[in-house]
Structure 1
Amino acid sequence: MAGYPKKDEKNGTYYFVLEAGKNATGKRKRIKRTGFKKMNEAKAAMAKMLLDVKSGKMLKENNMFLGQYLDYWLENYAKTNTKPKTYAEYKKIINGHLQPSFQNILLSDLKSTHLQKYYNEKLNALSAQSVTHHHRVLSKALNDAIDWEFIDRNVAKGAKPPKPIKREMNTYTAEQLNFLLKTAKEKTPLFFPIIYAAAHTGMRKSELIGLTWTNVDFKTGKIYIRQTITEANGKYFFNPIPKNERPRGVKLTSELNKLLLNLKNDYENRQKILGETFNPHNLVFCNSKGNIMVPSEISRALKRAIKAAGLPDIRFHDLRHSHATILLKANVHPKIVSARLGHSKIQVTMDTYSHLTDSIEAIAVDYLDEMLE
């Protein structure tokens, strides 16, 4: 960022040049100060200006564009105060959407109407949930701009982001799920084990991708969830559970236990042949080269199996919903279902599957009809 004061041979005075970040188009911005009679004066002025640039004061004085400020916010807040995956997601939103749309608007000139227009335009290409996420990122950045005294108010508070539409939950019956798994084994054998495990445990995709063999206990017949693996901008992030949280244990079905034993034997045999470089992360579910499974490829494999089976379309996450629905309809106590899913409270489970209330109550009434005269 900093150069060193130099002497202007033409007039005998001293000057310096500082790097002051980038402008809205990504071009480097330089600040030059000249006319110092002595080297020490130039050094002192340069040191002060360097502090102003680092603190953001120079940005404020130069009335930056919103795009410039968002770069500053990423570097001075998001990079050091959020998880790597969160930072990567923020950067993707800012570089891919916010900066191109607001590159010619000064931070001080930004109005709620600018944001409202942005939200309306983005709805042509993105979901309401995605646009709402953009709003949250921008609102947080503008709140921090107030704390740093760049602006006096957050105009995002006056804008109205779209209300996300709650996605409809689509689930399979036990019969449909069994048929899907049979088809997946035939049509997509590489991804069959992770699809099978999702149906039998209700685990999230990120939990399954991050599962390691050290967290499969065949003696107790349990899987322990101690980390997830997530992807953003083509990079993978290993996310261990907080140290103050107990790992979630999920009891294996007997059939899943058999499948995992066969998978473990296959893994050990391949490692003997290929060496320690195969599957270096010790993952239960990996691709043919022993690398992390790409989340989108797992979803596409599921879609192929669904199409081949001629079943209604569902998302990978709906395997988790199907697992919970089958248990609740079988009159399994919601507390058990909640524990398997890893919900923080049983109320989360009850709220998520509140649509099952009538069918569960019908089961209870049938039981009462049998027991009471």
Structure 2
Amino acid sequence: MTRDVKRPVGRPSRFAKFEQFEAGLPPKMAKRPSYCDGIGIFKGANGATVWVKIRMPRGGFYNGRTITARGAVEHKLGKRSSWDWQQLVIERDRLQGLADRGEPLEAVEVDTFAKYASEWLERKKPTMKGYGVTNGHIKSALGPAFGKKALNAITVSDVNRWIGKQSANLKPATVQRQLATFNAIMNDAVRSGIIEKNPTDRTDRIKGIEPRQRFVTDDEWEGILKAADKIEAEQEEKKEQTPQQIRGWLRHYVAWAYNSGMRRAEILCLTWDQVRKVDEEIIVIEVKNTKTNKPRFVTCTQEMLEILAALEKLERAEGDKRLFPISMTTLKRSLTRLWKESGLEDVRLHDLRRSHATILMKRNIDARTIAGRLGHSGTAMLARHYAVNLGDIEAARIFGTPRSQNGNKSADSDDLGVDGGASEVAGFD
């Protein structure tokens, strides 16, 4: 008697359900794919394509559309012949993981630095104070190095190499200003969610940059005024060849800067409607065009009142409401000549602002009041860049005073405590 041998049953394919699903589809389908566990197939006239259906628990954006929370999207992967079932399952799970974490399903094409910087500059133009300078940084310094790179492809090493190259030919302060423009653009891209980190956060520090601490002494100030008077006297002699717009304003302008502590652009933008009379003796100036976009009031000194009276008498173009109706270019040229005539070619207009703050501090005006007059929100910048530290001045004065006048002992050894007691404190027997 022959006994039938029971053959082992083969292990079902891991993807049997998908294979059965595909086999049961018609050779030609309607407009949409059919799905099995989130994997879809569509059979059309040009062959079969594969899709995945992804749930969007947090919502998001897909293919230019906003997807609400707990919605779903159908994502096309391509030709069926390009994928096996294992690859489809892996890709479905990868995309679903992105959706669960709220990350975009599609690869985001990041703008190049040139494109983003151009759009950033156009967006900031209405409120930007130094548009021309910033535009110059982008075109001449940043564009050639980073322009063709995608924002997310710019690395710390790229920026460090750029700093090294720029520093070989330019002053450290110039490189720092260019880097500040780059930093502002990249920080904007971070805030917009285009890149995760700004590469400048970890770049090398630019060496050689020290806060400028140039102040004008009383004698230097007198020399500047004499030079301004000389220049204006020469302009008056040649007034037939010198337009009113570029003569008669120089001395008033520098004296205003020295007395008010205002910035160059703040002064140039002043108009007569910003002159406010508080009472018969007090006049204040409303400074609107500030670096921080926060208006402030600056009370006029006696010399500023005299300057206002003189400015009212000067000729000006009809309809020009500015206190100082001169262009930035004219001002720069006039100041360059002024520093040369006065023999102070290392002086800049901003040094008059520093001098203003230093004089006030020396006369015991509190730091917060001075900072408010200059337009700073706190006193840190004042201490770093604008005024000599009064504590240090006092320390020097006391150090130079004979000890007997301070009630101290005359013997250096006693002053320093070099005796038996000092030995004990130091731990010696």
Q: Does the Cα contact within 8 Å between 1:65 and 1:103 map onto a contact in 2?
A: yes
Give the Å deviation of 1:114.
Answer: 1.8
Q: Which runs of 5+ in 1 are unaligned?
A: 1-47, 230-238, 288-292
Task: Please tell me whether the aligned partners of residues 60 and 150 of structure 1 are also in contact (alpha carbons under 8 angstroms).
Answer: no
1:286 and 2:330 matched? no
Closer, same or farther: CA 158–354 of 1 in aligned 2, 3 Å? same
The answer to whether the 8 Å contact 1:223/1:252 transfers is no
Specify the SS of the correspondent of 2:346: coil
Q: Does 314-323 or 327-336 show the bigger shift?
A: 327-336
Tell whether 2:300 aligns with 1:251.
yes
State the partner residue of 1:308: 341
SS at match of 1:318: helix
SS in 2 for 1:284: coil
Shift of 1:261: 0.5
Structure 1 SS opposite 2:289: strand
Change (3 A) 1:209 1:355: same
Instruction: Go from structure 1 to structure 2 and tell me whether the alpha carbon gap of 1:355 and 1:172 turns closer, same or farther (over 3 Å shift).
Output: same
- In the alignment, structure 1 residue 185 sits paired with structure 2 residue 224: no
Structure 2 match to 1:122: 166
2:255 counterpart of 1:196: yes
TM-score normalized by the length of structure 1? 0.61
Contact 1:66 1:103 in 2 (8 A): yes
Instruction: Indicate how the Cα distance of structure 1 residues 260 and 65 shifts in structure 2: closer, same or farther if over 3 A, else same.
Output: closer
SS at match of 2:325: coil
Aligned length: 290
Structure 2 CA distance for partners of 1:71 and 1:340, relative to 1, 3 Å: closer
RMSD: 4.2
How far, CA to CA, are the matches of 2:350 and 2:338 in structure 1?
15
Alpha-carbon spacing, 1:201–1:365, altered in 2? closer, same or farther (3 Å):
farther
1:298 is aligned to 2:347: no
What CA distance in whole angstroms lies between the structure 1 residues aligned with 2:250 and 2:174? Answer: 28
- Taking the aligned partners of 1:338 and 1:284, their CA distance within structure 2 comes to 24
Considering fraction of residues, name the structure with more helix: 1
Indicate how the Cα distance of structure 1 residues 305 and 363 shifts in structure 2: closer, same or farther if over 3 A, else same.
Answer: same
In the alignment, what sits opposite 1:11? none
Q: Deviations over 1:210-229 (max 9, x none)?
A: 21112224634333233127
Bigger Rg, which one: 2
Cα distance, 1:313–1:108 mapped onto 2, change above 3 Å = closer
Question: Which string of whole-angstrom CA distances, capped at 9 and with x for unpartnered residues, describes residues 293-315 of structure 1?
Answer: 31x53243223223223346311
Residue deviations 1:347-371 (CA, integer Å, cap 9, x gap): 543444244533345668999x9x9
Instruction: After TM superposition, give the deviation of residue 372 of structure 1 in Å.
Output: 9.9
| Distance across 2 between alignment mates of 1:346 and 1:158 | 28
The answer for the alignment partner of 2:282 in structure 1 is 221
Quote the residue 1:262 is aligned against.
310
Pairwise CA distance, 1:198: 0.9
CA shift digits 1:76-133 (9 cap, x unpaired)? xx71698344776654433332222234545554332222111111123444344344
Change (3 A) 1:100 1:215: same
SS of structure 2 residue aligned to 1:224: strand
Aligned partners of 2:201 and 2:379: how far apart in 1? 33
Q: Distance in 2 between matches of 1:85 and 1:348?
A: 20
1:209 offset after TM fit, Å?
Answer: 0.9
Distance 2:265 2:345 in 1: 24
Residues 191 and 336 (structure 1), Cα distance of their counterparts in 2 relative to 1, 3 Å cut: same
Q: How does 1:30-49 map to 2 (within 5 A)?
A: none
Q: Contact between 1:202 and 1:321, CA under 8 Å: does it hold in 2?
A: yes
Contact 1:128 1:162 in 2 (8 A): yes
Cα separation, 1, equivalents of 2:400 and 2:374: 27
